[in-house]
Copies of this chain bind each other. A is one copy, B any other.
Amino acid sequence: MRKRPAASPRTQVRRHPERADYDRTSIDAILDEALICHIGFVVEEVPWVMPTMYARMGDILYVHGSPVSRMLRAAAGGADVCITVTLLDGLVLARSVFHHSMNYRSVVLVGRPQDVTETEEKMAAFKALVDHVVPGRWEDSRQPTTKELKATKVLRLDIREASCKLRSGGPEDPSADVELPIWAGVIPVTNQVGDPIPSLDLPSGVELPAYISHYRRPSRLQRTPSSE
């Protein structure tokens, strides 16, 4: 079943509306591929933006942190927050300075988060947070104790008001510039995963599991010459 689009008047993209998309399939793909979000919250009229982990579970986005963190206390206080997730895909080099750009996919999500207090949902959120980063890791890890659960605050935000914005493809120079003897094109940028580095205190005999040695981010980005 197709999900309801996540558009709302306040998440309507105004600049470059041709780059906008409100379809949940597009939004979810970006949320599932990226590793971190930037969460914005207001404290005494000042906006603060902090990088943090997150995970999507169906129509909910979870974030977590220390119960005493200013971010989570502000976010749980009944006010709106904004969660933005950005994937940078390329540097777009046009002939003119003016038409330089970047290829990217981003999601902007606003709403009022709620404190997750019920243990079962909190555990499910933890599993989602760990498996979002490395699928399969939850099963293989030492599970949270009651004390650890209490030492972590989890917030949930419904994915109800969101938009995504995408730019792909090559530079768009005005035709008068195309004949200039200036190289134009795209330098692709990706999040690259390196070889796992074992902890110095890893006991001998503990093997690298397949879910780590084969680790890759899911990616919906199609790289073809014509799309760049």
Q: Which of B40, B183, B188, B196 contacts A194 (CB 8 A)?
A: B188
Least distance between A19 CB and chain B CB atoms (Å) = 12
Contact call A183/B202, Cβ cutoff below 8 A:
yes
Convert A122-151 into 0s and 1s, putting 1 for each residue whose CB lies closer than 8 angstroms to a CB of B. 000010001001100110111111001001
Q: Which of B38, B45, B110, B178 contacts A79 (CB 8 A)?
A: B45
Convert A152-177 into 0s and 1s, putting 1 for each residue whose CB lies closer than 8 angstroms to a CB of B. 10000000000000000011000001
Given A133-B91, A194-B188, are A41 and B47 also a contact pair (CB < 8 Å)?
A: yes
Contact call B47/A80, Cβ cutoff below 8 A:
yes
Contact partners of A205 in chain B: CB under 8 A: 181
Contact call B47/A144, Cβ cutoff below 8 A:
no
Convert A87-99 into 0s and 1s, putting 1 for each residue whose CB lies closer than 8 angstroms to a CB of B. 0100101111110
Q: Which of A25-69 contact B (CB under 8 A)?
A: 35-36, 38-42, 45-51, 53, 65-66, 68-69
Given A42-B47, A46-B80, are A100 and B130 also a contact pair (CB < 8 Å)?
A: yes
- Bin chain A's interface residue count: 35 or more
Contact call A15/B181, Cβ cutoff below 8 A:
no
Contact call B192/A170, Cβ cutoff below 8 A:
no
Contact call B185/A194, Cβ cutoff below 8 A:
no
Contact call A49/B45, Cβ cutoff below 8 A:
no
Q: In the complex, A148→B99 CA distance in Å?
A: 10
Q: Which of A81-124 contact B (CB under 8 A)?
A: 81-84, 86, 88, 91, 93-98, 100, 102, 104, 106, 108, 110
Q: Assess whether A199 is interfacial by the CB under 8 Å rule.
A: yes
Contact call A38/B84, Cβ cutoff below 8 A:
yes
Contact call A199/B212, Cβ cutoff below 8 A:
no
Contact call B134/A187, Cβ cutoff below 8 A:
yes
Contact call B108/A49, Cβ cutoff below 8 A:
yes
Q: Which of B45, B86, B184, B192 contacts A38 (CB 8 A)?
A: B86
Contact call A191/B189, Cβ cutoff below 8 A:
yes
Contact call B199/A170, Cβ cutoff below 8 A:
yes
